[in-house]
């Protein structure tokens, strides 16, 4: 992957995280009480990185599959980048 592709991905991720941080559907404090740790999410999905950083895109894709979505991390990222919320995405047809 050349430098320009890496930079484009970095910029896109930064934009996604900014939009995600402003997502009103993630501000629901009641749901956050049931949040799980990274270790619990890894165990839930069966994802076991071996002496390497956790690939969060892979983890999100595995989590989506575990809850019955056919979508992947790229799909949720695209949905949010196009103005949708996480709640809308999660409540869309599975």
The residue written with tokens 């599959």 in the block is 65
| More confident: 45 or 32 | 45
The Cα–Cα gap between 12 and 18 comes to 10
Could you tell me the two tokens for 92? 């869309």
- pLDDT tens for each residue of 19-39: 999 998 888 656 555 678 899
Predicted structure pTM score: 0.80
């Amino acid at each position: 992957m050349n430098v320009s592709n890496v930079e484009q991905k970095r910029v896109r991720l930064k934009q996604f995280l900014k939009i995600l941080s402003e997502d009103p559907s993630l501000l629901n404090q009641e749901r956050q009480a049931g949040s799980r740790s990274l270790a619990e999410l890894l165990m839930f999905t069966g994802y076991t990185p071996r002496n390497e950083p956790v690939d969060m895109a892979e983890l999100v894709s595995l989590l989506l599959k575990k809850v019955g979505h056919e979508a992947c991390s790229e799909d949720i990222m695209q949905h949010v980048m196009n103005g949708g919320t996480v709640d809308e995405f999660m409540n869309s047809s599975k």
